[in-house]
Amino acid sequence: MSDNIFTGCMPALMTPCTAQRKPDFDKLVAKGRELIDIGMSAVVYCGSMGDWPLLTEAERQEGVARLVAAGIPTIVGTGAVNTREAVSHAAHAANVGAQGLMVIPRVLSRGASAAAQKAHFAAILQAAPNLPAVIYNSPYYGFATRAELFFELRREYPNLIGFKEFGGGADLRYAAENITSKDDDVTLMVGVDTQVVHGFVNCNATGAITGIGNALPREVLQLVALSKQAAKGDAKARRQARELESALAVLSSFDEGCDLVLYYKHLMVLNGDKEYTLHFNETDTLSDAQRRYAENQYSLFRHWYENWSAEQHFA
C-alpha cells in the first residue's frame, strides 16, 4: 500500500454554530486542532456530518481554508447539488493546500445513471489532479460504484486511490473482494462507525472516518488500534476490539440514521462543547425522548469503559 493521507483515523467534523446560526469557524478550527493533537491523522470537511447541504459554497470553502491555514491535515468533501459546484470545491481544495478529496456521487439529477456518475466523478478528479481522492459510497446518495467503473476512472485519473465505504458490512466486503484486493495501491476507508472491526480485520481497510469519534476520540482511536492489531492475527486484540465495538454499538449506530448530526452534536454538548448546541435550521432538534435515550446510552458507555479499561490494564 502506498503512503497516503487516507490512513489512520479521522473525524468527519461537524460545523459549530454561532448564536445567529452561522458557521463558527474559530470553533471549527479549534476542534480540528484538538482532535489532531489527541491522535487523529486528519479531519474530513465538509461531508454529511458538516451539514454540507445547509451551507453556502463560500461558507464551506472558508471552513476548508481556515482548517488548512491552521496546519490541520484536511480531506475535503465535494458533495453538491450539481457538478459545477462539486468541481469548484475540488479546485478550491487544491488551491488552498488541502490533502485530499472525498468525491461524493451526483445527487438528485440522474443519480442512478452510471454514465452520468462517471462524468461527474471525472470532472471532480480532473479539477484537482494532484490531490489523492476516494469515492464515497453511501446508500443515502443512491449510487453504488462498482469495480468496473472504479478502475475505468482510475486508469484515466491515477489520483483516484480508493473508497470511503458507508454501505455497511456487505459493501465493505464487496470493495475488498473486487477492488482493493486487485490493486495494492488502492485503499479502503471504513466510513460507518458500526463496521470498524469488520473493515480492518476482514476487508484490509487502511483507515476509518468516524462520526462518534468527535465525541469519543480516544476510545475510537483505541478501537482502531485494536482492530489493526487484530488484523495481524492478535487474538487478544480481536477479543478486546469486539468488546469495545459492542459497547459502542448504540452510539455508533447513530451514524447510520438521518439524525446523526443532531445526536453527535448533543454528545459534544454533554462533553462541555457548548458551541454545538444550535443547528442551522431551528427546527432541527432531537425530541425529548431521543435526547434522554442518547444521554442514558452515553452514561452507560462511559461507566462501562471506565471499568473495562481497568480490567484490561491499558496505559
Helix (H, G, I), strand (E, B) or coil at 258: coil
Instruction: Name beta bridge partners: 75.
Output: 44, 100
Question: What pLDDT is stored for residue 314 in this prediction?
Answer: 63
- Tell me the pLDDT tens digit for each residue of 251-289: 999 999 999 999 999 999 999 999 999 999 999 999 999
All residue ranges of the chain with pLDDT < 70 are 1-3, 313-315
- Which DSSP symbol is given to 103? E
Question: What pLDDT is stored for residue 142 in this prediction?
Answer: 86
Question: What pLDDT is stored for residue 90 in this prediction?
Answer: 98
Phi, psi of 12 (to 5 degrees): -85, 105
**pTM as predicted:** 0.95
Question: What pLDDT is stored for residue 3 in this prediction?
Answer: 57
How far apart CA 255 and CA 19 sit, in angstroms, is 26
Question: What pLDDT is stored for residue 1 in this prediction?
Answer: 34
Complete edge-to-edge strand list for the sheet that includes strand 133-137: 8-11, 207-210, 187-190, 160-165, 133-137, 100-103, 74-77, 43-44
- Which DSSP symbol is given to 198? H
Phi, psi of 43 (to 5 degrees): -125, 155
Q: Terminal CA-to-CA distance of the chain, rounded, Å? A: 30
Contact 87, 127 (CB under 8 A): yes
